[in-house]
Amino acid sequence: MTIDFKKEVEARKEDLLADLFTLLRIKSEREDDKATKEAPFGPGPVEALEKMLEIAERDGFKTKNVDNYAGHFDYGDGEETLGIFGHLDVVPAGDGWDSDPYEPEIRNGKLYARGSSDDKGPSVAAYYAVKIIKELGLPISKKIRFVFGTDEESGWGDMDYYFEHEEKPDFGFSPDAYFPIINGEKGNVTMIPHFDGTNGTSYVLVSFEAGLRENMVPGNAVAEVKVADAETAEKVAADFKNYVENNPVSGKAEVAGTTVTLHLDGKAAHGASPQLGTNAGTFLAVFLNNYDFDKGARAFIENSAAYIHEDVYGKKLGVEFDNEKMGELTMNAGIFSFKAGQENDNRITLNFRYPKGTTAEEIKAKLEELFGSEVKVTQGGHHMLPHYVPADDPLVATLLDTFEEHTGIKGEEKVIGGGTFGRLLERGVAYGAQFPGFEDTMHQANEYMSVEDILNSAVIYADAIYRLVK
């Protein structure tokens, strides 16, 4: 049987975009200060999950909401289950947008909104692929279970809870990365150096804040500095103006008596590809390192400038590592937080994506040796080990063949630093929805995905899913 999946997707284009727009208008950022038992990650992720399950119920699927942590719908029966894993949460919108990040707009064929490419656009494309298989009544011999998460961008608490209550599918994919395929993912661990909030007298670091999430390159940084006199404050402001003019950043200084507030703007990017961003936190630390800070403030600034600035491969930190199959270790300094007088929570979050051959324990030991006994290093919450599914696995082979036939582009395996829900399964991969040559705007201002790519990915998903379960 030959099915024209392209024709079937085109026939549903307006409905697909309408459902996607509905989801994109939901501000599904994690908000811990608004979390409750009924909304474990805040109200936005729950609203998005309920809306997605409502759409699936509308289309005749049997759905299940697992206590607002995650949900799924099933289609078909069989001894094996194909799992598809999307997520409905998004990273904070941040600044620098040309339009409202939660009012989707199509401009020049590109759909702009937070979540358009990560991961609501691809998830809806994959959803419509299953919807087409159902509506055409195509014969299948396996169950399809489509799972929607609500905490992928933070700690994966959604999937931890979900799999305490639900069985894992036998094999599957996540529509949350790139074509042709991602069949390998580096390990993912966060290390946190802690500094005390002490200061000297000539220069006092009142506060230093940069970053929104550990998996985002900080696009903005702000520091408040108190100096000895107004003349010195003006000198610091003038130095800062010269600094931003001679570096790939922008910013401004505000002087109020003996206090200078420094605002620096870099470029946000996905923490899995920190080399694509300009880390506002480290650039601000490099500037402040020119002044005579002391004690905890000095340690915070010096370490940021000396060992973290422009060191996305961990060479200055002494943790660099390269694996022939999985590539190099990368490091993203995602959050900087310092408040004068605060004892225990002045910190820098260092998010490492590491290949097989090194370990989180080795990384932590090297950081402790480098920073010394006065800086405590702790390991962050969710730790993911390196993951790899061989290229000759039937799942990988089928997905690559489908991609090649629809695009004419050679399908080759790839390993990334990003962590996707594909790694939830032993035989799990990430598959699409970004095509070769795309501009990566995930986690950045003006995130977008072209409408054509959304529709083309739905075509490939429909064909690939059908091949896997027919």
Q: How far is CA 317 from CA 119, 331, 335, 406, in A?
A: 33, 10, 17, 44
What are the start-end ranges of the H helices in 137-272?
A: 157-165, 230-245
Write the burial class of residue 272 (CB in 10 Å: 0-12 exposed, 13-18 middle, 19+ buried).
buried
Set 8, 19, 29, 89: catalytic member = 89
Residue 118, both tokens? 């990560």
The 10 Å Cβ neighbour count of residue 89 is: 25
Set 8, 47, 152, 265: catalytic member = 152
152 is catalytic: yes
Residue keyed to tokens 């490939």: 460
DSSP tag of 67: T
123 and 457 Cβ atoms separated by less than 8 Å: no
126 and 84 Cβ atoms separated by less than 8 Å: yes
**Separation of alpha carbons 468 and 452, rounded Å:** 24
91 and 153 Cβ atoms separated by less than 8 Å: yes
The 10 Å Cβ neighbour count of residue 37 is: 7
Q: Write the single-letter amino acid at 344.
A: N
**Separation of alpha carbons 449 and 246, rounded Å:** 33
Q: How far is CA 77 from CA 58, 101, 142, 153, 283, in A?
A: 20, 39, 5, 31, 55
74 is catalytic: no
Q: Write the single-letter amino acid at 204.
A: V
E strand or H helix that includes residue 284:
helix 280-288
Catalytic annotation, residues: 89, 152
